[in-house]
Structure 1
């Protein structure tokens, strides 16, 4: 009688997936060496203008089934928020994001969500409707877009994670926790002020 290892392998994989996809309030940067970013006391990491790395290709279908390429927003400051409808901190920060988006979109700030780990885009659409979210969100149920960020850069490592991408398409700031309206504005303001 042989014993199958398949159930154990599946259980280990499921546990790893849960660990990686759980809502968290922080994380640490992957990679080693000189990362060029500084973590502030407020939990927001920033990179000086001349030392930033380019954001990866972030394109695909939105939760509404439309095609979106974040590179199309070059020339604007992009606030990229990784979220899931199942994530309590994401629900807590959603009204803050919509309010700040409404206030700053006329100033050249574009918000884009990356919905991840939702098994159906219907859950994500319902979330947006419930919280009055009007900016687009890419649908990334398996986290493939998150894996496009280079290790050792300001990459998203938790859900929620928020990145600010400068007008040249480079990653300027990151938070690995849910953000209040005040912290979100504080994260965007220096990048928006750059000429």
Structure 2
């Protein structure tokens, strides 16, 4: 083999290895981006261990009543040093919002959550809002966020994201931040979105579940 051919082969191997490294880094960055502030699922029906669900063009996923999976036990310390167990809220429609003070989309939707939660509370409807604050290393950051945006309902403090991992795989689980999940009156997962929502979208998730008999 000539010296020039050997050099070409070595150069080709280095180039291929470099491309593989770049692809691996890009894939990792994409995964981290999704887990930090991700977007919605696609618009196709999905079958999982929690039944069949459909994600619409708005990014909101819903599952029929007979196909719903039981929500996991969500309990622990709250941002304001209290305690909360969502099992005590059975009989109400429960709106779970996963958020972090560091997350720009969470800041964008926070005012809508404050508005809609107050509407339902003032109307005396059987709807409870619960936040799940995650990846905030300081409660002070979370408290400042709630005060800034007028959030008055409680938030479980979950800096390591352990509560999110309690949701069964294949169900409408909160695998991005922000995520919003609506539980029906029996404590089953009825709807989810992995994108920030406005007040109209939030009501569209709640009302059909609230109207169920």
1:24 aligns with 2:38: yes
After TM superposition, the runs of 4+ consecutive aligned structure 1 residues lying more than 3 A away are 14-21, 27-35
Q: Secondary structure at the match of 1:98?
A: helix
Q: Residue 164 of structure 1 corresponds to which residue in structure 2? A: 182
**How many equivalent residue pairs?**
183
Q: Deviation per CA, 1:22-68, whole angstroms, max 9, x where unpaired?
A: 21223579985784111112111001011101100100000011110
Distance, in Å, in 2 between the alignment partners of 1:22 and 1:164 is 21
Q: Residue 128 of structure 2 corresponds to which residue in structure 1? A: 110
Distance, in Å, in 1 between the alignment partners of 2:49 and 2:134 is 29
Q: Residue 77 of structure 2 corresponds to which residue in structure 1? A: 61
Distance, in Å, in 2 between the alignment partners of 1:177 and 1:156 is 10
Q: Residue 192 of structure 1 corresponds to which residue in structure 2? A: 210
Alignment check: 8 A CA contact 1:75 1:168 kept = yes
Structure 2 segments unaligned to the other structure (5+ residues): 1-24
1:148 aligns with 2:166: yes
Alignment check: 8 A CA contact 2:181 2:190 kept = yes
Structure 1 segments unaligned to the other structure (5+ residues): 1-11
Q: Which of structures 1 and 2 has the bigger CA Rg?
A: 2
The answer to which structure, 1 or 2, has the higher relative contact order (CA under 8 A, 6+ apart) is 1
Q: Which has the higher helix share?
A: 2
TM-score after normalising by structure 2: 0.80
Q: Residue 178 of structure 1 corresponds to which residue in structure 2? A: 196
Q: Choose the corresponding residue for 1:87, options 98, 103, 118.
A: 103
Q: Residues 155 and 133 (structure 1 numbering): CA distance in 2 closer, same or farther, change over 3 Å?
A: same
Q: Quote how far apart the aligned CAs of 1:190 are.
A: 0.3
Q: Residue 53 of structure 2 corresponds to which residue in structure 1? A: 37
Q: Residues 130 and 118 (structure 1 numbering): CA distance in 2 closer, same or farther, change over 3 Å?
A: same
Alignment check: 8 A CA contact 2:50 2:69 kept = no
